[in-house]
């Protein structure tokens, strides 16, 4: 474990921790994979973008109003980076947070994403004491929709042409989960 890697959350198989320089290559590899980027805001992800992102996140802290913090998702046994989970603390209403998640293609289908998201939600409600978690997903992203619904999120809205992605207007579903609804 790198001295700069602060662990925030540990599960049976995963660690959600601070990013460190050792993560740059793995981060770049999955972010630059077209299948992983398909429903994300980026495309043609470059190595220098990965370096800047990891550098910024290695200095950040979660739960800072108005900011996004990315947790590195790593395998518990090897500390190998396999993805990331995002936490956006809203500026205007700090008791509500938005989450997001990305997993390397070779680690999808093994329930790592749902394990990481459950752990993040537990952290949000039990450690940070937040009232509500929200998430947005492209309406075409069946895997994210299934994951959000499987961990207890409720679809609250269908937002038409809500954001521009890769030159096209995209519809999104908005999901939410209240602390009073969460049990883990």
pTM of the model: 0.93
pLDDT for 52-64, tens place per residue? 999 999 999 999 9
Q: What is the pLDDT of residue 49?
A: 96
Indicate whether 2 belongs to any domain.
Answer: no
Indicate whether 168 belongs to any domain.
Answer: no
User: Are the beta carbons of 60 and 69 closer than 8 angstroms?
Assistant: yes
Distance CA 106, CA 119 (A): 21
User: Are the beta carbons of 116 and 1 closer than 8 angstroms?
Assistant: no
Indicate whether 141 belongs to any domain.
Answer: no
In this structure, the number of other CB atoms found within 10 A of the CB of residue 88 comes to: 17
Indicate whether 19 belongs to any domain.
Answer: yes
Q: Mean per-residue pLDDT for 131-141?
A: 97
Q: Which residues contact 160 (CB under 8 A, 6 or more apart)?
A: 171
Express as a percent the part of the chain with pLDDT over 90: 90
* Domain extent at residue 74: 7-132
Distance CA 80, CA 149 (A): 27
CATH number of domain containing 116:
3.40.630.30
Q: What is the pLDDT of residue 1?
A: 58
pLDDT for 77-130, tens place per residue? 999 999 999 999 999 999 999 999 999 999 999 999 999 999 999 999 999 999
User: Are the beta carbons of 44 and 53 closer than 8 angstroms?
Assistant: no
For the chain, the domain total comes to: 1
């Amino acid at each position: 474990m790198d001295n700069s890697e602060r662990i925030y959350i540990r599960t049976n198989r995963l660690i959600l921790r601070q990013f460190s320089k050792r993560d740059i290559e793995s981060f770049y590899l999955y972010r630059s994979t077209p299948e992983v980027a398909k429903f994300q805001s980026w495309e043609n992800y470059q190595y220098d973008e990965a370096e800047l992102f990891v550098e910024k996140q290695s200095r950040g802290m979660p739960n800072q109003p108005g900011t996004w913090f990315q947790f590195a998702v790593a395998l518990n046994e090897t500390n190998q980076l396999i993805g990331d989970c995002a936490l956006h603390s809203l500026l205007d209403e700090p008791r509500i947070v938005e989450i997001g998640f990305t997993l390397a293609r070779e680690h999808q289908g093994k329930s790592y994403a749902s394990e990481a998201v459950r752990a993040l939600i537990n952290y949000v409600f039990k450690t940070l004491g937040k009232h509500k978690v929200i998430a947005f997903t492209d309406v075409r992203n069946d895997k994210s929709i299934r994951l959000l619904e499987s961990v207890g999120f409720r679809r609250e809205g269908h937002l038409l042409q809500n954001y521009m992605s890769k030159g096209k207007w995209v519809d999104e579903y908005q999901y939410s989960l209240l602390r009073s609804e969460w049990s883990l």
